Structures are given as structure tokens and as C-alpha cells.
Structure 1
Amino acid sequence: MRESDKWALTAKGKLAGGRIKTSVKLGDYIEWPENFDLTQLPAHQSPDIPVELVSSTKIAKEFAISANKLNYLFSELGWVNKSLKGWIATVQGLKQGAIQSEDTRSGVPYVRWPESITQSRLLLSSIDDITGSTSQSPSSSDDTKTASTSMGYSENVEAKHRATDGHFVRSKAEMLIDNWLYMAEIIHAYEHKLPIEENVYCDFYIPTGKVYIEYWGYDDDPKYFARKAKKLAVYKKYGFKLIELDDTDVQNLDDILPRMLLKFGVQAY
């Protein structure tokens, strides 16, 4: 493979199972799966089409934020993971066109991105959130609100239960969960939107470890059960870390949650 086109192959080839290999004689090259078929790739993902790759630093300058903050946004979206030093692209990041790289001197891993990542609706929304921008269109906001009632919280249930940390939640069980997390000094969000195109909201989200918590009630309600099944399918599709709680678990949070959280690297104090 020529030096001039190796990154073009890598950018889209990752999606098809290609792996970067390094040879003293050949340098970096792509190793393809034995069953790989180029015809399986859509035209816009063809490995023969050059893709301009940019660093997080360059992308961050475009949005007038620090590269470190941008990388943490990528991490929040599930596109990269923080390593001991540097950043590692995740499966979801590779699907966005991420290319794993390494500093030739220090060996610190970093990720490069296709320029098109700056048009990602998920990324733009996240940047709007941290910068306080109001660039989101009214129509997209309305769509989110409508969809959230079927794949997240229910607007028919008033959030009238006030937890110790000030969150208003929609049931006594959720209040007990929220209070437990607060007393355990675990930073958490309530009714947080999942970092995906679909408008799905979790009950609780723990940034440390990127863990989601769902409390399931009303299992005897067919509509609720159907919505639960759809939601679980989304968690499975994206490989998100999920803790599921029911009424029995809520009565034993001191025994249940520390063990479940520890599995995902979150320690309760």
C-alpha cells in the first residue's frame, strides 16, 4: 500500500473489519478479514475514496473549545475511552470514521477523525449543551419531546418527588435510587438522553464508568412492557452498560447497587 493512500483505506476499512498492521519494511498497512468483500461497502464508504483526517485539536479550534474538553465530549458520546495516557477509539467511534493513531515518539495513543465529524448532529448537540448555545432548531426540539414519551420518561407522570439532591423524580422508587446515589457520593444525572440518534432517555446516568440505570415498574401493563422491550433493544444495540432495578432491588439498594456498580468500575463510598 502506498504511503499516500493508507489513511484513506483505514478510515473506511475499519468499518469492514480491517486492522492496521505495522511492518519494518512496509510501514503501516491494512490487514483484511479473509471473508472481506469490497462490494459489501456502500459507495460513500469505499476504501478507495480518500478521506481527510483531522485531529481533536483542529476540531476543537473550530468550535472554540479546548482539545481536552472535546475529547471528553467524544468520551461522553461513547466514541473514545481514556487510557492511562491518551485516548482509544471505541467500536462506536470507529463507526464514526475514527482512526486510532499513536505518537511515534511518546507512544501515546490518540484518535484522528474525518472532517465530516464536525457535522455530526450528536456532537453539535453536545457542544451546544456545554457552551450554552441555542443553535438547535425549534423543530428538532419538538421532535425530541414527542419521541421521549415513547422511548424514555412519560410526561403523563408528574415529577413531583423531590430527592435529597434537588432532583424531581417521577416515583418514590426513583427517589430512593436518587437518594442512594447522592449519599454514596456518586455523580449522576436524571432522565439523561442517550448519546445516539434515537430519542431515548435513561432513568439515571453515571458519568464515571458511563453506566445507565433503569428502574422497571408496571410490568403488568402491556404498553409499558412493549416500551421496555424497545428500550432494552437500544441498550443492546449500542452495547451500553446497563443496570436494571425492580421493586425488590429498590428495597435492598445497599446490597444490590454497590455490587452492580463495581462490575463497571464504579465504587460506592
Structure 2
Amino acid sequence: MAKQKISTSQLAKLRNVEAKALFGDLKLAGYINRHEDNWVLTELGSKFGGEYVNHSKFGQFIVWPENLLIDTDATSGQLLSATQIGERLKLPAKKVNQLLSELGWIARVDKGWQVSPSGLTHGGQQQMDNHNEQQYVLWHDSIVRNKRLKQSVVEFLGQDAEAHATDKSISSFRQKFEAKHRTLDGHYVRSQGELRIDNWLYLNGVVHAYDRQLPIEQDVLSDFYLPSGKVYLQYWGDDNGATEEKERVAIRAIYQQHEFPLIEIFTDEIDQLDKVLPSKLRAYGIKAY
């Protein structure tokens, strides 16, 4: 039976260290991130066993395994700018920000870049240049080892993505459900329902990606990603490889956990896309022609 996880303060007491020092070590290792007055659990922290719990008296806080390994050897503690990340990835800062934006970790605002809730879980920290009032984001140095960012760089540079892929489950899924339906914009999709959604998006001027990996460690594909609204679109169709309700619930939970906006389309809505999609898109600031 797995041991119950304990709070950071309890862990500090167990290890006979000051709670403040332990919080500092966790932040240095990239397991937690500070935003405003709250601690945010990062994806790296989740990998090492951290998780949120909700308490009736104390609200939400993070708990850890008693035998938590805090790996500070893998980090310098340095916060990296887009320019510094680009130097390591051999990309210009502008392109780094574009890729981070495509992943949904930052968003363009009137005066620079703003970190998103998902970006916070990847070590992004909001900054402000008081001289010119420009917003920008600095990143925990673990970002340069991030699996999804590295994958995006590989795909952007046109390198052999399959040779770099480690997601066997996704490869297996793609082999089992072959994308054989060609859409108007040249995508190959797996079902008639997806084809009709893809064609609708294309004809209505909505930029979209198909079969997009969610920007998380888990190997989860979304049917469509609409970058202008930073929103994912999932088709729960029954015309090819129907998704069981239990699996739907699990997939929805992943979107909710990471605060990824999600539009859902069901089989009975496929014949009514002109009616149902415009309002769903408007909720995320996307206008269809």
C-alpha cells in the first residue's frame, strides 16, 4: 500500500530543515513555481510525485512523497530569456517565442508576452521591464530539456521527427487508425467526421493543426489545435475507432488538469457545423467567415 503524501511543511519537519529552505530547494529544482502569492506545481514536480490536494480548512496545497528526491544537480538555478533559450537551441529569440506561443505557454499581449497557466507549470515567470513597460517571460533552465519544446524545434526545423519520437503509444495509435481521408487543405485525417470538421475550418478561414500532441509529458493527441484562440477541438465520433465513455472522461480530465481550453464536437453535430461551430469558436475570440 502506497504511503500517504505529506505537505511541504511536514516534509521539512521530517528532514529537520526550515520550511523556507525546502521551498527554496523545490523552486531551484524546478518542481514548483511562484506566481503572485501562490505556489504552482510544475510538470517536473509532478514527475517526482508532487500533486495538489484540497483541504476544507487550508484550501489547495501541494503534497509530496516522504522519500522525495530533490534533484538540484540538473539545474543552475538560472532563469533564461527567450534569447538565452535560443542560443542553446540555435534559434532566434523571436522564433523561440513563436514556438512557446504555439505550445500555449505564452500569449501575445499589447506590450509583449504574458505567461499562461500552462506556461507556469513549465517554469515560466512573468516579468516587467519598468523602463518601457514591456512584459516578457523568463524560464527555469529545465525548459531546454523539455520533451515537447524539443519536439516542436525538431518539427519546425524539418528534421526527422519519427527518428526523435519516443511516444510508442502514439505511433501504435497512428498505425492502428490510418489517416486516409484527404481534406481540401491537404491534411490526411482518420474519419469522415474529422474530414468534415477540417474542411469547415479551412473554408471558414480558421487556421488549424491536425493530430496535435498536447504540450505535456503524457502522450495525448488532440484532433485539432486552433492557435489563434489557443484552443483544442476534439471530435467524439463513432465512424472510426469510437472512443469509449471511460476514455473520454479520462481525456477530459487531462484537459481540465492542465487548464487547456477544449471544444467538443459529437456525431450528431456533424451535419450542423454551420450552426454549432461559430458560437463555440467565438467563445475563444475566433471569427469564422
Shorter-chain TM-score tier: 0.7 to 0.9
Change (3 A) 1:184 1:70: same
User: What is the match of residue 19 of structure 1?
Assistant: 37
Give the number of aligned pairs: 241
Correspondence 1:104-143 to 2 at 5 A: 104-134=130-160, 140-143=166-169
SS at structure 1 position matched to 2:221: coil
In 1: Cα distance, 2:140 partner to 2:162 partner = 23
In 2: Cα distance, 1:38 partner to 1:168 partner = 44
User: What is the match of residue 227 of structure 1?
Assistant: 247
SS at structure 2 position matched to 1:140: coil
Change (3 A) 1:203 1:37: closer
> Are 2:286 and 1:266 equivalent residues in the alignment?
yes
In 1: Cα distance, 2:247 partner to 2:61 partner = 38
How many Å apart are 1:232 and its aligned residue?
1.4
How many Å apart are 1:226 and its aligned residue?
2.4
Correspondence 1:120-269 to 2 at 5 A: 120-134=146-160, 140-146=166-172, 149=173, 155-218=175-238, 224-269=244-289
How many Å apart are 1:101 and its aligned residue?
1.0
How many Å apart are 1:15 and its aligned residue?
3.3
How many Å apart are 1:254 and its aligned residue?
0.7
Deviations 1:16-46 (A, max 9, x none): 66539xxxxxxxxxxxxx9699995767499
In 1: Cα distance, 2:160 partner to 2:141 partner = 23
How many Å apart are 1:80 and its aligned residue?
1.4
Deviations 1:92-128 (A, max 9, x none): 2222222211112011111111222211112111111
Deviations 1:144-202 (A, max 9, x none): 413xx2xxxx6434433222112222222222111111110111122111111111111
Give the partner amino acid of 1:196: I
Give the partner amino acid of 1:68: K
Q: Greater CA deviation, 84-93 or 126-135?
A: 126-135
In 1: Cα distance, 2:138 partner to 2:27 partner = 11
How many Å apart are 1:14 and its aligned residue?
6.5
Change (3 A) 1:261 1:13: same
Give the partner amino acid of 1:202: S
> Which consecutive residues of structure 1, in runs of 5 or more, have no partner in the other structure?
1-6, 21-33
Correspondence 1:30-45 to 2 at 5 A: 44=70
Change (3 A) 1:174 1:51: same
With the length of structure 1 as denominator, give the TM-score of the two structures: 0.76
SS at structure 2 position matched to 1:266: coil
With the length of structure 2 as denominator, give the TM-score of the two structures: 0.71
Q: Quick check: which one's strand share is greater?
A: 2
8 Å Cα contact 2:225-2:231 kept in structure 1: yes
Q: Percent identity at matched positions? A: 34
SS at structure 1 position matched to 2:222: coil
User: What is the match of residue 60 of structure 1?
Assistant: 86
Change (3 A) 1:101 1:9: farther
Change (3 A) 1:134 1:168: closer
User: What is the match of residue 51 of structure 2?
Assistant: none
8 Å Cα contact 1:85-1:108 kept in structure 2: yes
Change (3 A) 1:69 1:135: same
Deviations 1:226-260 (A, max 9, x none): 22222112111111111111122111111111110
Give the partner amino acid of 1:206: L
In 1: Cα distance, 2:203 partner to 2:61 partner = 54
8 Å Cα contact 1:76-1:195 kept in structure 2: no
In 2: Cα distance, 1:60 partner to 1:84 partner = 23
Give the partner amino acid of 1:118: V
SS at structure 2 position matched to 1:212: strand
Change (3 A) 1:107 1:196: same
